[in-house]
Structure 1
């Protein structure tokens, strides 16, 4: 349980950090399709984070490490929360 709290918390903090940076960076300022750049960048970063978490969980499952389930659960959490935040922020533009 301790691994899930720690790994999930770190991953959610990373998710919040780059979503805030994308939204305040000014990528989406300019009107029109400018919000699409922020949407694509957020989707790419979320996909990358999910891929890294999932690959890490597979490696840890092979090694039978206790953190494997935490990384797998964290990849699902980042996928669900991240893409809903991505689409939610895109609706603002």
Structure 2
């Protein structure tokens, strides 16, 4: 259950990071509210997962998932350029996250 919550929390990190950008410095209400809800839920899930998983593994997986999903979403929406190098490096992050799960 902790791994499931950790992955979900990592996905919520991408949600709050994107909402933070769209809030334009907390001047837009809806993105600001999405940010607030997502950041609390994401941190809560990370905290829950850390009750059973090591802090280093938990944090690395949480950040890795959040970073990859944030960049992937930005690429899909056209707000960030796509390149072979970026895709390769994102795949390396995914490989690292999977590796941490395998060795845990």
* TM-score of the alignment, normalized to the shorter chain, above 0.5: no
| TM-score normalised by length of structure 2 | 0.37
Instruction: Specify which structure has the bigger relative contact order, considering alpha-carbon pairs within 8 angstroms and separated by 6 or more residues.
Output: 1
